[in-house]
Structure 1
């Protein structure tokens, strides 16, 4: 799914990475615990979070995430935006809550990530 589509569906504003909005993601993960992000996410995943600190960018950098949506109208400060620019990341912000933003994307067909146990319980 293209980031530009996600931006439109979430009525989001683009803070960085305007030139990369046609890039794609395969899955989404909504979370505020960066330890869970490290444990479950792989590349081509869109991260949705309410955290706006530099650790979000550093965590995304470690696992090659290039697109983050900040929810609940939260906007990162200039230092975080600059760090994202330096790492060629797309930052979006939406007024939707985490739950609603994830639900919208799910209804549009963007799959969530699964851990091994979930895959087995769903027969995948």
Structure 2
């Protein structure tokens, strides 16, 4: 699924980063604990995973860099601070903001074919 399709599904606002329609997003992770995102990450050569979170600090962007996550969706209408936006721009990681709650965003993505990132290896 493309980033534009996810923007439409979640009625999200595109904040920053490359709006690359070539990215094929297949998986999602959802957490406010970046340690969990890292603990359950697997090395990957293809960036096909987005992160759904309510945490808006710059550590989210750093975590995505390490975990190979290709885009961030902030839920509950939370807008990130300027330093997070700047880091995401420099890291070329798109940021989206939706008013949906995390559960609703994840349910919408799942019901439209996005799998949980743990599905990559059948977990």
User: TM-score, normalising length from structure 1?
Assistant: 0.87
Q: Does 1:45 align with 2:49?
A: yes
Q: Does 1:92 align with 2:92?
A: no
Q: Does 1:71 align with 2:75?
A: yes
> Can you give the 5+ residue segments of structure 1 that lack an aligned partner in the other structure?
120-124
Q: Which runs of 4+ in 1 moved over 2 A?
A: 115-119
**Residues in 2 aligned to 1:117 and 1:26: alpha-carbon distance in whole angstroms:** 13
> Can you give the 5+ residue segments of structure 2 that lack an aligned partner in the other structure?
none
> What's the secondary structure of 1:23's corresponding residue?
coil
Q: How does 1:1-124 map to 2 (within 5 A)?
A: 1-42=1-42, 43-114=47-118, 119=123
Is residue 30–residue 102 contact of structure 1 (8 Å, CA) maintained in 2? yes
Aligned pair count? 119
**Residues in 1 aligned to 2:112 and 2:119: alpha-carbon distance in whole angstroms:** 21
Higher-Rg member (1/2): 1
User: TM-score, normalising length from structure 2?
Assistant: 0.88
Is residue 29–residue 41 contact of structure 1 (8 Å, CA) maintained in 2? no
Is residue 12–residue 96 contact of structure 2 (8 Å, CA) maintained in 1? yes
Residues 76-105 of structure 1 show CA distances to partners (whole Å, capped at 9, x for unaligned) of 011110000000001000000000000000
